[in-house]
Amino acid sequence: MKQDVCEQVEETNRSEDDKMQLKRTIGYFEGVSFIIGTIVGAGIFVSPTGVLKYSLLNVGVALIIWAVCGVISLMGALCYAELGTSLPFSGGEYSHIKRALGSPLAFIFMWTAMFNKPASNAARALLFAEYATQPFYGECPAPELLKKCLALAVLWFLGILNGRSVKMAAWVQTVFTILKMMALSVISLGGIVLLIRGRKENTARFENVFSSEIPDAAQIAEAFFQGLYAYGGWWSLNYMAEEIKNPSRNIPLTVMTAVPAVTVFYLLVNVSYLTVLTPKEVVSSVAVAVTWADRVIPSVAWMIPASVAVSIFGALNSSMFTLGRLSYAGSQSGHLPSIISMLNIWYWTPAPAMIFSTVIASIFIIPSDLIALTNYFGFSVWLMIGLTCASLIVLRYREPNLHRPYKVCLPVAFGMVGISLFLVLAPVVWSPKMQYVYALLFMLAGLLFYLPFVHWKIHFEFVDKITCYLQLLLEVSPANDKSD
């Protein structure tokens, strides 16, 4: 009886609109906000020390590495722009790997991402809670229970917001991106003003920028790891390609605006830090931006901790948005329960996908020690980036007639595959640990679920009953096929 009711609800919804799909509501400006908001988190405010540390405090080498990391990120983003314009579907790397390299590899990516990305969101939520509560406790540490409760509240607030309205989520992202860029602008302009004044103590670090010891190859590689981690998130736009207005134009244009803008700001902010602080002070500071503000603008130094909280909140909102689209795409392909691919009949949003991803992130917050495990999955990020860029190359030769509004130069794609391969193998070769083996085994363990439930299509009737109840409860309906 319940199944009949579900079918009647579905037919009614389809009769109202023949195309139950995600709507294209994200324009150029919102896309830029999502990319910048994902890349710029707390790191540039708190501890942009990794690059300088592994550059052996050599200012010239450190700034070159920041710039080259920006170029590498732009190369990757341009490869993704071709895939996003030729295959404008939700899911990002998952959808591209599935199309070019097959369903098993796509499932392994999703299986790994369902562990790695929610843990990252949980870490962001806890860091936000740390910065939001600490001012009320002075020098004493804030209670762990309070921070976890606030982190859960923020996760669910953003989960509900993203599940209810794409436009509202995009508006929040735009506002918080503007606020964080205003904070970075204050730091950047402060450094420029001090340099123009030309005081010896401010310009001393830039007179002989390469005078310090030159790092060796292993140290330079580690510095690149730190820099590329700070640029993480340039791939976020492809997760929402299905919702971008005029993707053929806006995806490449957005990428070419956002990534260079972040690169310029990262360089200016680092120059500003080094104008005020010595390299040793930058490396030893717990929160570099706070130390900088105490010396340059002590009367309003409180703005920096507030800016860190704002930056984390914006990055978390963007990450929640993209993770929901990954779950949605995986469900549409049959790799997750079908209820996750359904859209709310009133708001046309993937509400079940947002609930699903928020629940997983919430689980990581409760025993927060689990978050530490994700440190050993860093190589998996670059493994999937390499596979995605390899997908571009495969599709160029296998589907030469595929409509490509934007095409990147193939040497750029081959270069990204080579860089990704290096970044995957380097930590395993230079500092081998059993944890990397465990992480790889966890990734491969996804096949234990893929084979019975996807390949052999084992199905249980009680799942249909649960799906029907949830469909009625959440007021959701299956989305139309993308090819309709």
Using the predicted structure, report yes or no on whether residue 370 has a pLDDT greater than 80.
Answer: no
| Domains along the chain with CATH numbers | 24-464 (1.20.1740.10)
Using the predicted structure, report yes or no on whether residue 17 has a pLDDT greater than 50.
Answer: no
Q: Residues 82-102: what's their mean pLDDT? A: 94
Residue 433 falls in which region: left (phi positive, over 0), alpha (psi -120 to 50) or beta: beta
Q: Which of 9-18, 429-438, 465-474 has the highest mean pLDDT?
A: 465-474
Of 42-56, 58-72, 140-154, the one with minimum mean pLDDT is 42-56
Decide: 198 and 37 in contact? Cβ < 8 Å. Answer: no
Q: In the structure, what pLDDT confidence band is assigned to residue 374 with cuts at 50, 70 and 90?
A: low
Give the pLDDT score at 5: 42
Give the pLDDT score at 104: 95
158, two tokens: 């953003």
Angle at 440 between CA 435 and CA 441, to 5 degrees: 95
Query: CA-CA distance, 456 to 459, in Å (whole number)?
Result: 9
Q: Residues 51-56: what's their mean pLDDT? A: 88
Taking only the tens place, the pLDDT of each residue in 165-206 is: 999 999 999 999 999 999 899 999 988 888 888 777 667 777
Give the pLDDT score at 484: 45
Q: Residues 51-77: what's their mean pLDDT? A: 92
Of 89-98, 419-428, 446-455, the one with minimum mean pLDDT is 419-428
**pLDDT: which is higher, 47 or 477:** 477
Cβ-based neighbour number of residue 181 at 10 Å: 20
The pTM assigned to this predicted structure is 0.90
Using the predicted structure, report yes or no on whether residue 326 has a pLDDT greater than 80.
Answer: yes
Give the pLDDT score at 21: 83
What is the average pLDDT score of the chain? 87
Q: Residues 63-82: what's their mean pLDDT? A: 95
Of 125-134, 216-225, 311-320, 460-469, the one with minimum mean pLDDT is 216-225
Give the pLDDT score at 50: 83
Q: Where are the beta strands (DSSP E) in 173-318?
A: none
Decide: 56 and 214 in contact? Cβ < 8 Å. Answer: yes
Give the pLDDT score at 14: 47
Taking only the tens place, the pLDDT of each residue in 236-272 is: 999 999 999 999 999 999 999 999 999 999 999 999 9
Q: Residues 56-78: what's their mean pLDDT? A: 93
Of 11-20, 293-302, 387-396, the one with minimum mean pLDDT is 11-20
Q: Residues 150-164: what's their mean pLDDT? A: 94
Query: CA-CA distance, 413 to 427, in Å (whole number)?
Result: 22
